[in-house]
């Protein structure tokens, strides 16, 4: 039995025991009050005799069954505790992304050389975490359009995540080709900055972001890049932070 099932059973048992204890306490209190009333009045024959029998079980039984039925009903609509402590990441693609991928595949089947459809399909693959398929699709697009910095940056990013956020040698080659065509290429510089930041190389991340800010041909959130630079600078030691600010 899973730990969550044991926890639920414990909570339910405690609640039901509290319910029974409260019911028994209420009956005892009523009996005490009736006994005291008998002791202080002379008309004993007119008052009900204290109930010394075993407390009625009907009320707590019905309440306990109601609590159990309500809990089972709510649980059946909301969850599955059987797999709570053995859960695995959801590897299924979001249904909207899956629909985009399906439409993209159908478009490519009808027209394999449709460059717009290939680009959209590659982006859908990447959004769905299907990085190997994204790389394959981008390779098809590169064959049709020739080497373009933006496509190479997208391919490098897909390779990076395909390899578990690692810049492998083949990814490094793609990065070099992209930067040779466009020094400030958006996807490539974002990739290099992200990898540097995650590796703790904050000065390197700042350098890549600052180069990206020189890009005047691709739209991106410049305020977000400035915020990222400020956050990275705050993580540098005072001497390195001063040096990075001077270079900027």
Domain map of the chain by residue range?
3-79
CB-based contacts of 10: which residues, under 8 Å, 6+ apart? none
Choose among 4, 158, 180, 153: nearest CA to 80: 4
Q: Give the global pTM.
A: 0.59
Question: CA–CA separation, 213 vs 248, rounded Å?
Answer: 11
The pLDDT tens digits of the residues spanning 33-78 come to 666 665 665 544 444 554 444 445 566 676 667 766 766 665 555 4
Token pair 């991106």: residue: 220
Specify the pLDDT at position 65: 72
Provide CB contacts within 8 A for 167, sequence distance 6+: 160, 175, 195
Low-confidence spans in the chain with pLDDT less than 50: 1, 43-47, 50-55, 78-91, 241-242, 244-246, 248
pLDDT at residue 60 in the model: 63
pLDDT at 193: 97
pLDDT at 10: 66
Q: Extract the tokens encoding 190.
A: 């974002």
pLDDT at 236: 87
């Amino acid at each position: 039995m899973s730990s969550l099932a044991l926890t639920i059973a414990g909570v339910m048992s405690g609640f039901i025991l509290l319910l029974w204890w409260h019911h028994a306490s209420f009956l005892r209190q009523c009996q005490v009050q009736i006994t005291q009333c008998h002791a202080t009045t002379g008309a004993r024959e007119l008052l009900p005799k204290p109930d010394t029998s075993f407390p009625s079980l009907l009320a707590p039984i019905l309440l306990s069954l109601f609590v159990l039925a309500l809990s089972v009903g709510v649980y059946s609509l909301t969850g599955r505790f059987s797999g709570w402590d053995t859960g695995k990441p959801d590897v299924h693609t979001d249904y909207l992304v899956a629909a985009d991928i399906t439409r993209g595949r159908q478009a490519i089947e009808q027209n394999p050389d449709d460059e717009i459809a290939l680009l959209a399909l590659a982006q859908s693959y990447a959004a769905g975490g299907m990085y190997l398929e994204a790389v394959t699709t981008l390779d098809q697009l590169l064959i049709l359009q020739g080497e373009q910095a933006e496509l190479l940056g997208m391919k490098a990013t897909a390779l990076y995540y395909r390899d578990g956020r690692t810049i492998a040698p083949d990814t490094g080659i793609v990065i070099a080709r992209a930067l040779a065509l466009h020094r400030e290429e958006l996807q490539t510089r974002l990739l290099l900055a992200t990898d540097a930041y995650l590796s703790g190389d904050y000065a390197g991340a700042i350098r890549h972001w600052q180069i990206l800010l020189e890009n005047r041909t691709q739209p991106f959130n410049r305020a977000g890049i400035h915020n990222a630079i400020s956050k990275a600078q705050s993580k540098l030691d005072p001497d390195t932070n001063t040096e990075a600010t001077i270079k900027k």
